[in-house]
Amino acid sequence: MTKTWVLLSLLLSLLPITAFADAAVGDMTVTLGQNLTEEQKRTLLSEMNAPQGVEILTVTNAEEHQYLGNHIPKRLIGTKAISSSAITHEDSGTGLKVQTKNINWVTEEMYINALATAGVKNASIYITAPVSVSGTAALTGIIKAYEVSSDKAIPEDVKQAANEEMVKTAKLGDEVGSDKAAALMTKIKENMAENPPETEAEVRDIIETSAKDLGITLTDAQIQSLVDLFNKLKDLNIDWNQVGTQLDKAKEKLTTFLQSEEGQTFLDKLKGFFGSLIDAIKALFS
């Protein structure tokens, strides 16, 4: 009997501990900016409906600079970490849902796209701050919380790429409109999932085709910026089909755009173009 227990103990010791560390559906993890006051922390935890004993992680300003320093000026990152978030794990197939408060630059769809790129999945995420902020620093905390709660490390280059995507999309939103920028990123990812590009030329073609399909006019500089980003993502072994399954909420924005007056105007123009083309062909043979 003693030998049996010794053997059983040995087998149990060989089992991966991480198997027991995976978060259960409904589990919440909170991240709080290091420079929040105690009163601000209490207010945000109440706002998040965080349960007693919830796991709380601290995000530092140094971490914000680590992931954003290459993409936006340091003065815009600032010297204080105040953005905070709560991530709640959901059932498989739920996808990503994001709600924000006091975030004035990065939209919910931009977060969803960047988080899907990073490999975060099936979660409800709440992002907030005690005052109005750009929201760029929040992604650092969300990814950190996801790694800890799910016990799944996300490669550093993927984290950097997700932050770069978020910033570039927000900048593009300043130039063409937030809805257009978010819809374009979603469309590009859908097309990459259907036809994974192998070369930079194929990446460029997907971007230009996606923009054309949505009636979005991009400058050469904007196209090149997106080519640089997605060419980098192409080499990171990202599962674009998995990314696509997380984008249901972002796809709703894409559908909303296509159903908008602006989107319908583009589709009408497209129909008119093909109608004129058909009439010209008929005239040629008559």
Same domain, 198 and 146: no
At 285 the pLDDT is: 47
Find, among 127, 131, 140, the residue nearest to 166 by Cα.
140
Same domain, 132 and 177: no
| Token pair for 1 | 């009997």
In the chain, which stretches have pLDDT less than 70? 1-22, 253, 261-286
The predicted-structure confidence for 90-124, as pLDDT tens digits, reads as follows 999 999 999 999 999 999 999 999 999 999 999 99
At 5 the pLDDT is: 43
At 276 the pLDDT is: 53
pTM of the model: 0.82
Same domain, 175 and 206: yes
In a domain, 113, yes or no: yes
At 76 the pLDDT is: 85
Residue at a domain's end among 154, 171, 186: 154
The predicted-structure confidence for 182-224, as pLDDT tens digits, reads as follows 999 999 999 999 999 999 999 999 999 999 999 999 999 999 9
Same domain, 117 and 165: no
Same domain, 145 and 232: no
Find, among 125, 146, 159, the residue nearest to 23 by Cα.
146
Same domain, 149 and 208: no
Same domain, 53 and 128: yes
At 66 the pLDDT is: 95
CA atoms of 257 and 110, how far apart (whole Å): 15
At 264 the pLDDT is: 58
Range of the domain at 31: 27-154
Tell me which residue has tokens 């709080």.
32
Same domain, 146 and 189: no
User: What DSSP assignment string belongs to 78-122?
Assistant: -S----EEEEEE--TT--EEEEESSB-SS-HHHHHHHHHHHT--S
In a domain, 76, yes or no: yes
